[in-house]
Amino acid sequence: MDRDPVEFVKKCSKHTWSSLFPSDIKNWKLVYFINILHIIGVIYIQFGLLSPPKYMKYYIVYLSFLLITYILLNNKCFMTIVSNYFSERNYNMLCIKLENAKLFIFGYLLLALLFYFHPQVSPFSILTKFFSK
């Protein structure tokens, strides 16, 4: 099944945006605030590996917390549950299967552990050395 990656990103972006900021919900201000925090959390998932090694422990705790809550909440994101509760709707913000998202998070967790225990190979340390010369 060949999919155009550009078209997939466009559709996914539109779906995610309309799920995060729907127009037909109750408590929209609170839901928008919750979903802005959700976006910040996702950005941290994506870019937390660039953190200085001394802060990597917080990233490790965050990723571990996410994986544990996925297990406890039957493969649902706690932020999505909170948002859906206050909006009184059932939105799914992901364009990929949660199983795939969990694999990414688990991979990020393994890398974070590597960077925490071997800070010399962390992206932050490598980039700091590269740009200090």
- Of the candidates 6, 41, 34, which has an alpha carbon nearest to the alpha carbon of residue 19? 34
Give the Å distances, CA to CA, from 4 to 9, 97, 107: 9, 18, 26
pTM: 0.86
Q: What are 13-52's pLDDT values in tens digits?
A: 888 888 888 888 889 999 999 999 999 999 999 999 999 9
Domain boundaries, the chain: 5-132
Q: How many CA atoms lie within 13 A of 87 on its CB side?
A: 24
Q: What are 75-119's pLDDT values in tens digits?
A: 888 999 999 999 988 887 777 788 888 999 999 999 999 999 999
